[in-house]
Amino acid sequence: EKLIVVVCGGGNAAHVMSGLSASRENVEVRVLDVFSDEAERWTKTLGDDSIVLTVNHPDGSHDEVRGKPNFITNDASKAVPGANLIVFAVPAFAHESYFEAIKPYVKPNMIIVGMPGQPGFEFQCFSILKDIAPKCCVIVFEGLPWAARITEFGRAITVLSTKDFLNCVVIKGESKIEGDPLKPIQYLLGPHPVATKLHNFLEPTLSTKSIMHPPIMYGAWKDWDGNPLSEKPLFYQGLTEEAAELMSGMSDELLATAKAISLKKPEINLDGVSHIRDWMYQAYGRECSDTSNLLQMLRTNSAYNGLLHPMKEVKPGKFMPDFTFRYLTEDIPFGVVVLKGISELAGVDTPITDKVLAWGQQIIGKEYLVGKSLCGKDVATSRAPQRYGYKSLDDFDPLL
Ligand code: NAI
């Protein structure tokens, strides 16, 4: 039987997912792109051609993969009916517009995939899709399977690298899907990455990498005098000791949150929640010339070599930090704020997270935290559980 896949988005992730899915046998691919006039531009640009993926391999060789989506539309009433899988392959700030667009057409037993989900995806999904969400299977990946960059909009993309394994969470709810719901996704992805199942959504959320960028931004810019710099500072190699300590402290607070949840609800398995230091060691130990502590791993990780702070050139050779970049504008409302909300529900104080959040929210002109409580006016546009009316840990039950 034919697999019908809706790929939501129009950026790097959506290009790879739609091209790759369309390259598989017996798959119908519909791209849903609700952003501006992107669907129309993409349709025109691609014409009758296929999307070309240049897939790089670790040994330096590469393959070419071609796939032609059946159609690209901004109209969910054309894309969603009859679909088996709906894959979100867009940045978190755009998820809401896709949930709203697909909502009238979602039917029981559809598989909704966050690729990646990012913290709060589950809260948003269950809140917007309300009664229908528990009848669907919701699968949330911890990251994107690839590092990828569009080389020609609508037509060509380079897959720089592919992960070997990728953690995911499967919320089967009341859905009735024959066999393993991961099977069709794994078919689309191919042999790699291998999708590995965690116990529940709290495990990846409380181990999220969204806590990396905000403390680094804090460390680099909290004492900045407001004057332009003559070069772009190194993001990881220039990391301050204070920033690494804050990152580690935020991670400690997440472990404390996991512990508090386990005490109140021992049935929730949180063995998979890990400290950022341990994750770093496991994921990048071989790439780091010094693994003695988190600071040194971040500074000496060859995969991070040469990465710079996001900066805007205001005059030739003069740079100002770009505070609109996703390191704050995505990782705060769809990261740190969600975590703070979960800690609050668990009754755990988070002084270190609060310190970074209080600085970051002011930089991006938002108010989430008031004192040490998550009750600012902009919680309403974050993905904190409080935004969706969660009052206690029991409200997590339908998502577990
Ligand atoms: P992207 O930057 O390519 O996404 C841009 C797309 O987002 C646009 O083409 C448009 O379709 C959509 N968009 C932009 N503004 C919008 C708006 N106001 N409303 C609705 N849609 C809008 O993002 P990319 O690279 O596809 O990444 C997707 C996710 O994967 C992100 O969360 C990113 O952090 C993550 N990721 C990406 C990696 C990569 O190599 N590209 C690697 C690891 C993670």
Q: What is the mean pLDDT of each run of 10 residues along the chain (400 residues)?
A: 97 98 98 98 98 96 97 98 98 97 98 97 98 98 97 98 96 95 98 97 97 98 97 96 98 98 97 96 94 97 95 97 97 98 98 98 98 97 98 96
Q: Please state which CATH number belongs to domain 3-197.
A: 3.40.50.720
Could you give the CA distance from residue 122 to residue 244 in angstroms, rounded to a whole number? Answer: 29
pLDDT reported for residue 139: 98
State whether CATH 1.10.10.60 applies to domain 205-399.
no
What ipTM, to 2 d.p.?
A: 0.99
Identify the residue whose tokens are 């508090």: 260
Q: Which atom of ligand 1 is nearest to the CA of 150?
A: 3
Domain boundaries, the chain: 3-197, 205-399
Q: What tokens were used for 92?
A: 């978190």
pLDDT reported for residue 383: 98
Q: Is 213 a catalytic residue?
A: yes
| CA dihedral (167, 336, 283, 260) positive or negative | negative
Q: What angle do CA 212, 216, 222 make, to 5 degrees?
A: 140
pLDDT reported for residue 183: 97
Could you give the CA distance from residue 85 to residue 80 in angstroms, rounded to a whole number? Answer: 9
DSSP string, 160-203: EEE-SEEEEEEE-TT---SS-THHHHHHHH-SSSEEEE-S-THH
Mutate to test the pocket of ligand 1, among 99, 140, 144 (most ligand atoms within 8 A of CB): 144
148 CB within 6 A, ligand 1: yes
3-state secondary structure of 118: coil
pLDDT reported for residue 1: 86
Q: Tell me if 132 sits within 8 A of 106, measured CB to CB.
A: yes
219-251 CB burial, b ≥16 within 10 A, e <16: bbbeeeeeeeeeebebbbebbeeebbbbbbbbb
Mutate to test the pocket of ligand 1, among 8, 12, 32, 153 (most ligand atoms within 8 A of CB): 12
Q: Separation of 123 CA from ligand 1 center, angstroms?
A: 20
Tell me the pTM: 0.97
Q: Separation of 394 CA from ligand 1 center, angstroms?
A: 33
Q: Tell me if 32 sits within 8 A of 74, measured CB to CB.
A: yes
Could you give the CA distance from residue 393 to residue 400 in angstroms, rounded to a whole number? Answer: 11
